[in-house]
Amino acid sequence: MQRKKPITPFGWEIKRRLAELEMDQKTFCKLYDIPPSRLSNLINGSRKAAKHRKQVSILLGLSDSSEPSLFKDEESRNTEAAGTGR
């Protein structure tokens, strides 16, 4: 089944960190009193949810930038490698 909205880079950070903590989204939301719909909004980018974005970022130890930069370093390395013919 295909998702309606793709997962944002920040959403992948959330999912990765929850997996590291061996915690599912529902448990995380219940534990920290975050509406599950807001966490979902953050994962798929359908709503800013600034208050909850900051809270989730702090709780999971993620960067709270508006422009997630999860893959910037990897992209720049790939671009450099492609340019040098490696």
Domains recognised in the chain with CATH numbers: 9-84 (1.10.260)
Q: What is the mean pLDDT of residues 69-74?
A: 43
Tens-place pLDDT, residues 16-66: 999 999 999 999 999 999 999 999 999 999 988 899 999 999 999 998 655
Q: What's the one-letter identity of residue 74?
A: E
Q: What's the pLDDT score for residue 61?
A: 94
Q: What's the one-letter identity of residue 45?
A: G
Q: Higher pLDDT residue, 74 or 35?
A: 35
Q: What's the pLDDT score for residue 40?
A: 95
Three-state DSSP class for residue 46: coil
Report CA dihedral (9, 12, 18, 20) to the nearest 10 degrees.
Answer: -100
Q: What is the mean pLDDT of residues 3-24?
A: 92
Neighbours of 7 (CB within 10 A): 14
